[in-house]
Chain A
């Protein structure tokens, strides 16, 4: 059992190293890929615009839950007026980036991994190689950059809609004073809080997009292989996101 555990630990370390090397390979190609801006715009649309509905809907519900729970908790201390601050800080610093990253991995990440994996399985990537077109530059980098740009925007939208959801519950249903909801939020949410949220969503964007394109590009070219790559995309992205979330939170304290 310990042998298995050791082996899987070594495997994980090797994989993280391979993903890191892949990131370097992508970064080298970024300047040349930027010349084909149309490809990147198409991928921002694929990863971003097509994930909008799920992100907005989830944001609304998460915000409403934060409104309910926050109100219930703060009421015990007689400080319901702080609901705006609590909801905003919770959403902007933590829930927005993390939940968006998890949803992003499930919606856009799996789409990226299976698309690239299927392109490999159907020889489309080899065909590009044969046409002297580097598939990393033409297929992988635009998808990676599309995800990197889309993720922070989605996280911002998630947080904004979440705060609106908390306001609907707190102010309009539970009767928190609207003026103190907004004014307390404005007074106590510092620039650092927003910065932390932005840093997190950017880092998660890089991590989730990188994992998705890595898994897709290195998928075993069979139906089973592409399926496994898709699953691994979600699992690895989630673990990376939560681990990085801890690191960034700790570093901002």
Chain B
């Protein structure tokens, strides 16, 4: 088993009621970070505190399962591919958390779900099945589902991957609007520099398992360190190498297998 630590010496403070972006090259553990914050994974050591509650690590247990579930009811998460339940319609997907956690009358569930779908512009798609949605619509439904329990914290895992420019613009506007209208704390994991710079209040740039820079998007664009310049400018080579580690190029070319 590969025991390479994903993070080492990582320290972050995520401000309340703001949009915080977590950026970094692929494979730096951005999604892992979200899974740590939500308690889906347990860290080997260190501590993670969410709104005063300590999630704990393998060394010191924190919340038990019931407490963790109670904390998660105050969180919403948008998965990379939406993760809609494929056997339920759009309406039932958004209604799912309400049906599982509340005993609201059907009439109220109807109204709550429609308001959330209206907020993401998909009230007209309530009767469709997830397989009938485009990628962008899929994610908007997932967003409606993530906010249906009125969470205090909303986490987005790569919300822009594979979207066309129009859908991307829609999602960007929704992130900002939902954050301001509902007073949420948003954490957006992404590597789309331009998009995220336009919406985030604070940016953390991760690389090599730790924070290499943080500040407002403007501060990061003005940062002169090589790694920040490479990432913000989208340069192919730099501290993050273009080439995967390999033996010497010419030696390997000449050393053709079975050439004797």
Contacts and interface: CB of A to CB of B under 8 A. Distances in A.
A123 B77 CA distance: 12
A132 B83 contact: no
- Could you say which interface size class chain A belongs to? 10 to 19
The A interface, classified by DSSP as helix, strand, loop or mixed, is helix
Contacts of A132: 69-70, 72-73, 97, 100-101
Contacts, number: 50
B77 A130 contact: yes
Nearest to B157: A123
Contacts of B75: 130
A1 interface: no
Contacts of B161: none
Chain B CB within 10 Å, residue with most, of A124, A127, A129: A127
Contacts of A122: 81, 83, 86
A126 B40 contact: yes
A187 interface: no
Contacts of A53: none
B83 A126 contact: yes
Nearest to B96: A131
B133 interface: no
A130 B38 contact: yes
Contact of B80 (A123, A131, A133): A123
Interface string A92-136: 000000000000000000000000000100111011111111100
A131 B81 contact: no
A124 B83 contact: yes
Contacts of A129: 40, 72
Nearest to B76: A130
B42 to A, nearest CB: 13
Contacts of A130: 38, 40, 72, 75-77, 79
B85 interface: yes
Contacts of A123: 79-81, 83
Nearest to B75: A130
A129 B9 CA distance: 28
Given A131-B96, A132-B72, A132-B73, A126 B101 contact: no
A127 B79 contact: yes
Contacts of A131: 72, 96-97, 100, 145, 149
Nearest to A115: B87
Interface in A113-165: 119, 122-124, 126-134, 138
A241 to B, nearest CB: 28
Contacts of A127: 77, 79, 83-85, 142
B79 A126 contact: yes
A124 B72 CA distance: 16
Nearest to A138: B100
Contacts of B101: 132
17 contacts: A123-B80, A123-B83, A126-B79, A126-B83, A128-B85, A129-B40, A129-B72, A130-B38, A130-B75, A130-B76, A130-B79, A131-B72, A132-B69, A132-B70, A132-B97, A133-B100, A138-B100
Interface of B: 38, 40, 69-70, 72-73, 75-77, 79-81, 83-86, 96-97, 100-101, 142, 145, 149
Given A119-B86, A124-B86, A132-B69, 17 more contacts: A122-B83, A123-B79, A123-B80, A124-B84, A126-B40, A126-B79, A127-B77, A127-B84, A127-B85, A128-B85, A129-B72, A130-B38, A131-B96, A131-B100, A132-B70, A133-B100, A138-B100
